Structure 1
Amino acid sequence: MNNTPTWYQMDHIANLVNEDLHDLLVLATTNGIKLQKKSGTITVHRNDLTRLFEEISRDVPRRRHVLTKSLLPHLDLPWAKALKGIYEEDAAWPASMSPQQGEFLRSLIQNINPKKCLEIGCFIGASTLWICSALEDCGNNGILHSVDLYGDKMPFKHIKYMFLLDALSYIQKRLDEAELSHRNIQHVGHSHLVGSQYDKLIGDELDFLFIDGDHTIEGATGDFLLYEPHLKKGGYLMFHDIYPEVCGWDGPAHVINSIIAKQPGKYQFVELDTAPQNYGISLIKKIAK
């Protein structure tokens, strides 16, 4: 079921981009963007969001992931070209996994050769393509299950240009370009809802689990407790954004420190620094059920 809103409240958008509401209304009307009052609140139609954010961010300098420090510019392969396209999007920085982190993830998958993988949180598809490209190279029937709301990606931390409409269609397009659609199954919905139907939707145990969704303590803990029991003995779990002082989120670190680190007979884990932003990665091996 598609829960994407048709109308977006302008006061909410003003808060997201840290702009005065009155100034934002003037900007919209000056540029011919139609507004409509609904239930006492001024709203903008979803079809006009792209134009609105283009005007909001017109004079804002863009930041990008630096591809020259990765292998991507040197690879003339469909998956590499698709990933380069993702990293060229305004929405990619800083929330998308960096190319350096992506190369680590891809190498990990190539080494552990998993048959069934699951990621929670896809954003605009960078991690999805890194994992699927590695599964393709492994040459087996490996599949990645991806769980996300797949809605419109709105500005984050007042980064005014970080916007992308319809993440699901966008990711599917990039997977087609990468010739990797056969490696990915998308589950559209809240991770807790999908997890509650795990046996029906996903089935067998996991070889690799990547948790990168809701980064709050409640969200990360809930995802771990719901999906970790489906990770087989000898399987690997990875958390992204484990350093709260850098990434601004406490959830992944809480799970590692409060649950995983307190069960040394069940897990082996290491925390890794990452580049260019040291948000950190934790790699965990499940050594006992």
Structure 2
Amino acid sequence: MEMKIPPDFEIDINTIKGFLDPIEGAALHQLAADASDLGPSLEVGSYCGKSTVYLGSACKRMDSILFAVDHHRGSEEHQPGEEYHDDELFDSRTQLMDSFHQFRMNMRAADLEEHVVPVVAPSVVAAKRWNTPLGLVFIDGGHSLEAALNDYRSWARHIVPGGFLAIHDIFPNPEDGGQAPYEIYKLALASGQFERVEMVKTLGILRRL
């Protein structure tokens, strides 16, 4: 993807916890800029806000809005005893994982509070009464098949014609990673409503027909 608007942050992106490759992040930044004339952007799965800064900084430059949907209780792999658990994000008072405090601090440090709207709720709950057409949906939520299917079915239908659907962590080879994001990527293509634009590392980019 041609980078027409390079990322420009008020925060050191490397200080934000997260798993997004900078090349994928730059592609998301450009997508959010390209989609801004079509409608606001929305991401599913914000964690501590690394992808949010890439997307939100483009929305800020284009005077658009990013909705950041996350319950901030972590996916399966973030829970105690799991591979990606982080003790710094575990709230000993509630005995629950909670990334929202870190997320909000990062949005403030990145000067994005006027362009990023946190939606602190499970994806399917946030989508129940959603009526706003979207120029971009980025899916990077839970990686179980159930969670990925719920995210796709909840949000892809709100993308306007010409808008983008981006799905993170696509691994066609099962030996490289989990298959749920790849399954919804294939489902979107098979629906006849989306066309392939580009694959940037593990980020699949589709356009709504």
Give aligned pairs, total.
192
Runs of 4+ displaced beyond 6 Å: none
Q: Equivalent residue of 2:136, what SS?
A: strand
1:125 aligns with 2:54: no
Specify the structure having the higher radius of gyration (Cα). 1
2:166 counterpart (238, 248, 251)? 238
What does 1:191-206 align with in structure 2 at a 5 Å threshold? 191-198=123-130, 203-206=131-134
Give the counterpart letter for 1:267 in structure 2.
F
Q: TM-score, structure 2 length as denominator?
A: 0.81
Number of the residue aligned with 2:14? 84
* Offset, 1:180: 0.8
Higher helix share: 1
> Aligned partners of 1:85, 1:185: CA distance in 2, in Å?
21
Number of the residue aligned with 1:107? 30
2:70 counterpart (148, 151, 155)? 148
Q: TM-score, structure 1 length as denominator?
A: 0.60
Give the counterpart letter for 1:216 in structure 2.
S
What does 1:246-261 align with in structure 2 at a 5 Å threshold? 248-257=177-186, 259-261=187-189
Q: Equivalent residue of 2:143, what SS?
A: coil
* Offset, 1:144: 0.8
CA deviation vs aligned residue, 1:105-148 (integer Å, no higher than 9, x gap)? 1122223335311111111110111111111122x2x1111111
Q: Equivalent residue of 1:109, what SS?
A: helix
Number of the residue aligned with 1:212? 140
CA deviation vs aligned residue, 1:131-166 (integer Å, no higher than 9, x gap)? 11111122x2x1111111113654675357574243
> Aligned partners of 1:160, 1:252: CA distance in 2, in Å?
21
User: Does the aligned pair in 2 maintain the 1:240–1:252 contact within 8 Å?
Assistant: yes
1:268 aligns with 2:195: yes
CA deviation vs aligned residue, 1:196-254 (integer Å, no higher than 9, x gap)? 132xxxx3211110111022222111211121121111111100011053653221111
- Bigger relative CO (Cα 8 Å, ≥ 6 apart): 2
Structure 1 residues 125 and 247: CA distance shift in structure 2, 3 A: farther
Give the counterpart letter for 1:197 in structure 2.
R
Number of the residue aligned with 2:157? 229
Give the counterpart letter for 1:144 in structure 2.
L
> Aligned partners of 2:40, 2:52: CA distance in 1, in Å?
13
* Offset, 1:184: 1.0
* Identical-residue share of aligned pairs (%): 23
Give the counterpart letter for 1:110 in structure 2.
A
> Aligned partners of 1:156, 1:183: CA distance in 2, in Å?
35
What does 1:34-53 align with in structure 2 at a 5 Å threshold? none
1:164 counterpart (62, 81, 89)? 89
User: Does the aligned pair in 2 maintain the 1:234–1:286 contact within 8 Å?
Assistant: yes
Structure 1 residues 226 and 159: CA distance shift in structure 2, 3 A: closer
